[in-house]
Amino acid sequence: MGRTKEFDPRVTLQAALELFWRKGYEATSMQDLVEHLGINRGSIYATYGSKRELYLRALDRYCENEGVVALERLNQPGPALPAVRAFVRAFADESLADQDRKGCLVTNTAVELLPQDEKAERRIETALHEVESAIAGALIRAKAQGELDEGADVRAQARFLVTFIQGMRVVGKTSDERRLNDAVEQAMKVLG
């Protein structure tokens, strides 16, 4: 008869996500995980497979959580363009409020693990595509509601905003509030 797990794998996964997000993949050792999660190596390996698999599962959890937040922010009833503007502004505000300057786990993973890690790359591409699609959907609504010019290329604008947001997350690791605020103002001009 197998032993019963003495920990909740979902809670432990969230704790691992937070540690990886704060320290990065390479800087997080197995001993760090053992200490932070409060479980032994054997339990980590038995439940998650390896440090890499645990990281990828934590990244999946992060993407799921952030994807829900993005859809909620962008699918507000009423005018769509203010929702897009607020979405972009929120990224700057969150970066500035983050005392640990963790940035975005998707961005951090892209910088740290790509292009060598194909599994991570697929997850990053999927996450970026999902955010781009959510933004494009909001911009399509804005166009249909007369908030954007009829000739606006909403897909190109969505790609720009995704790239811009990821760059903001990198710059947000500094404490330069003025740089982020000025950049957001310029991005808002692109939206008209």
Secondary structure of the chain as H, E, C letters: CCCCCCCCHHHHHHHHHHHHHHHCCCCCCHHHHHHHHCCCHHHHHHHHCCHHHHHHHHHHHHHHHHHHHHHHHHCCCCCCHHHHHHHHHHHHHHHHHCCCCCCCHHHHHHHHHCCCCHHHHHHHHHHHHHHHHHHHHHHHHHHHCCCCCCCCCHHHHHHHHHHHHHHHHHHCCCCCHHHHHHHHHHHHHHCC
- Which candidate, 43, 41, 13, 52, places its Cα nearest to that of 32? 41
pLDDT the model gives residue 1: 47
Rounded to an integer, the average pLDDT of 67-80 is: 91
Mean pLDDT of 132-153: 95
Domains of the chain, earliest start first: 58-190 (1.10.357.10)
**pLDDT at residue 84 above 70?**
yes
pLDDT at position 32 is 97
**Whole-number pLDDT of residue 135:** 96
Stretch 84-99: mean pLDDT: 92
pLDDT tier at 108, thresholds 50, 70, 90:
very high
Is residue 51 within 8 A of residue 30, CB to CB? The reply is yes
Q: What is the mean pLDDT of residues 9-16?
A: 95
Res 62 pLDDT > 60: yes
pLDDT of amino acid 6: 78
Segment 182-191, tens digit of pLDDT: 999 999 988 8
What average pLDDT is seen over the chain?
Answer: 92
pTM of the full predicted structure? 0.89
Q: Percent of the chain, pLDDT > 70? A: 97
